[in-house]
Structures are given as C-alpha cells and as structure tokens.
Amino acid sequence: MAFPGSIIITGANGFIGSEVLRCLRDRGVPGSRIVAVVREKHAMDPRQRMDQVFSRWVRAGAVRQVASLAEFGDGIRCVTWVDLREVLASQAAGHPVVIVHCAADTAFDMTLAEGRRINVGLTAKVIEAVIGATPAGGPGPDCRVIHVSTAFVAGKRRGFIREDEPDNGERGSSSFNNAYEQSKWEAERLVRASGIPWTIVRPSIVVGDSRSGFTLHFRVVYSVIRLWLRDVVPRAPVARDARIDIVPSDFVASAIVRLCELPVGASAGKTLHLCSGADAPGPVDVMAAAGRAFGRKPLPLSPPWVLRILLSRPVLAMSGHSMREILTTLAWHVPYLGSRGRVFDTAVAREVLGESHGTSPGFKDYGDRLFDYCAKTSWGHKCSTST
C-alpha cells in the first residue's frame, strides 16, 4: 500500500479538511504532491487563508514545531476552485490522484437554495473537473474521489442505520431536520451517479482532537455547553437514554488518510460511517466531562417535548429577543444532542479500514481532554501550553 501521486483536498482550510492536511503532514507522504483547494475570501488568496490555519496550529501546539509557517506549508500547493480543472488536466496519463472533497457549508439554518448552491454545487464542480481532465477517447490521470458527507443524511430516520443500504429514491424536505442534511444527501446522489470511482465517508458530530482537545471550531455540542455555562439554559431538553454520536477529529482525519493509502478496489463504491455507533455517549456523560473542566454540575434533563412547547408561537411572542435567539439555537441543535432508538452501523468502515482505523476512541477516554482544552484556552482565545 502506498499514497497516490497527488492528494487534492477541497475545503482544506475548513475543520475536517485542515485536520486531513495536518494528519498527512504528521504522517509524511513521500512522493505525493499535496494540493489545497481554497476559496478566495476578503481579498485573501488561498495561501494567505491557509497561513491563518497554520498559524493557529502552531500557536496551539497542535503541530510539530517548525521554524516558520512557510516551512510547515512547504510542498503544499494552494489553489482556487477555478484552478482545480487545470490542476487535474496537468496530471500525466495514469497518474494516481485522490480528491478528498471536504468543502461544504455546515450551517444548520441555511436555506435549501444555499445548501444546493454550495454543497451540491461544489460536488458537481469536483465531478466536472475529474471528467474534464480526461480527453474524449484519450488517457487521463487515474482519479478517484473520497466524498466527505455526514451520517445525518439519515435525516429523521430511526433504528439501525446501515452503511450499505440502497438509496430508496426521492426523499422530500420533511424527511430531514434541515436543509444541511438534505443538501448533503443530494450531493451523495450526485456522486453515486457520476460514473467516477468514489468512496463516501459519513462522520457524525466531529469534536476536537482526542489526544489534546484541540479544535479549530467550537460548534454544535460546544455551542450548547456554552449556553449552559452562561446560565441561560436551566435544563437540557434531551432524553436521559438518548445517545450523542460524536467522534474526535483525529479519528476522522486518520480514517480518510488511510483511505488515500488503500488500493482503489478496497473502498470503491462503498459508504463508510465514521461514527461511535452503539458506543456513543449519553448526554449526562458529555455534560459531566464539561462540568469537571469548568467546575459545574450537569444540568437536569427535560423531555424534548418541553422545548417544542417553548418554541410555540404564543411562548415565543411573550419572550424577549435574547430568549428567542437562545430557544432558536437550541431548536437547531437538539436533533444532534441525542437520539433515542438510532444507531449508526460501522461494520463497513471497520471491514475496509481495519479495527484500528475504523473504530472511534471511546468518549470516556478523551472527553475530559476536549473540555479541559476549552477551559484552559478560554474557548480558543488563549494558547494552551498543554497541547
């Protein structure tokens, strides 16, 4: 097994994309060319945007010490989306290329039009670039795509969610909790119908590094924990027997890097859940870990229907602006804070990746580190000497 000649990462400055890049640099990929595809934003070119990520890593001690950011980024080519087709077209015939497509908008409150424009639209650009790199009737680079989706394309489904379940055709918006889930599901369908070699990975909720707690973003679980610590949420609207499927970022990145290394035939046409599955922690476990870091007792729990009452029009009409914002934030996050009767199967992931790469660490082994990092760095505002 060996790494391909080129590894192209879209959304390389995002949470998962940057973790894949960090894992590749830590592992060392001799003979492979790494290309980071990044959008230009706020008059900053791709290299400048990646330098921001490198800088945060170095300040947090999340990467091995280097003399300069330029040294850390040496050998990484940073390009825009406009350049992607040219990068692929410049590869020699038969040159093995893996595209790790991480770029996405993960906002829960996006409209379906926004989700389709970014999550479906960027996926279409990757497919078009791969197809366009092969001249009609002529040889081109040997490309395959690792498409980073989400386990929550399952939408509102319950039960045992298998990786190898067939796509059962059309699903309307009522099947999903939000447009993010629906747009990621639609992007998956585009990949499956593309005719190019693909592997789909579906992480659940991705949190910080299991070894240090480091995270580039503080979202989803972190957002709700911060509401609790601000004393604006008196009770947690989640069932005691629910499960929160979370996985550490280094596990997700390591699994994706392992896929890059495996032969095409080992994973082509397969979907892998990068999830905790039956070992997912409960809400009390997560709150207890945060409570130990911040010296707080876990919140008492309320059934989820209590939040539905609070979100009713009469109650919202009587609430102040700040309380309406808090309730709305909780409403977006509750589907991810614990599900009863739903387990994500991970059998295919463990078969393809092996137990060591396909099985997430247990929350009890890293949960305290996540929130210790939050406490020691004031949610990322200060450097942590312990990372």
Burial status of residue 304 (CB atoms within 10 A of its CB: 0-12, 13-18, 19 or more) = middle
Q: Is position 175 within any domain?
A: yes
Q: Is position 151 within any domain?
A: yes
CA–CA distance, 114 with 14 (Å, rounded to integer):
18
Q: Is position 355 within any domain?
A: yes
pLDDT at 301: 84
Q: Is position 206 within any domain?
A: yes
Q: Average pLDDT of the chain?
A: 88
Which residue in 157, 172, 167 sits closest to 190, CA to CA? 167
pLDDT at 55: 78
Q: Is the pLDDT of residue 352 over 90?
A: yes
Q: 23 pLDDT band (50/70/90 cuts)?
A: very high
- Which CATH number belongs to the domain containing residue 42 in this structure? 3.40.50.720
Contact call for residues 6 and 37 (beta carbons, < 8 A): no
CA–CA distance, 176 with 157 (Å, rounded to integer):
8
Between helix 121-132 and helix 179-192 the angle, nearest 10°, is 20
pLDDT tens figures, 145-165: 999 999 999 999 999 999 988
pLDDT at 386: 47
Q: Is position 327 within any domain?
A: no
Alpha helices in 4-155 (DSSP H): 15-27, 46-60, 69-73, 84-89, 112-115, 121-132
pLDDT at 28: 83
Reported residue count of the chain is 387
Contact call for residues 286 and 221 (beta carbons, < 8 A): yes
Q: Is position 30 within any domain?
A: yes
298 or 30, higher pLDDT: 298
Q: Is position 229 within any domain?
A: no
Q: Is the pLDDT of residue 63 over 80?
A: no
Q: What is the pTM of this model?
A: 0.91
Count of H-run helices and E-run strands, the chain? 17, 13
CA–CA distance, 128 with 257 (Å, rounded to integer):
24
pLDDT at 67: 46
Lowest-pLDDT range of 202-211, 240-249, 320-329: 320-329
pLDDT at 289: 97
Alpha helices in the chain (DSSP H): 15-27, 46-60, 69-73, 84-89, 112-115, 121-132, 179-192, 221-229, 249-261, 264-267, 283-294, 304-310, 313-318, 321-333, 347-353, 355-358, 363-376
Provide the token pair at 53: 């990520």
CA angle 266, 342, 311 (to 5 degrees): 130
Domain hosting residue 72, numbered range:
6-217+244-277+341-361
Q: 94 pLDDT band (50/70/90 cuts)?
A: confident
Query: What is the total count of domains within the chain?
Result: 1
pLDDT at 275: 98
Q: Phi/psi class of residue 184: alpha, beta or left (left: φ > 0; alpha: ψ in -120 to 50)?
A: alpha
Identify the DSSP state of 173.
Answer: G
Contact call for residues 188 and 104 (beta carbons, < 8 A): no
Which residue in 342, 335, 350, 351 sits closest to 161, CA to CA? 342
AA letter at 343? V
CA angle 139, 141, 147 (to 5 degrees): 130
Q: What's the number of CA atoms in the CB half-sphere (13 Å) around residue 293?
A: 24
Q: Taking the CB of residue 195, how many other CB atoms lie within 10 A of it? A: 9
Contact call for residues 17 and 104 (beta carbons, < 8 A): no
Q: Is position 148 within any domain?
A: yes
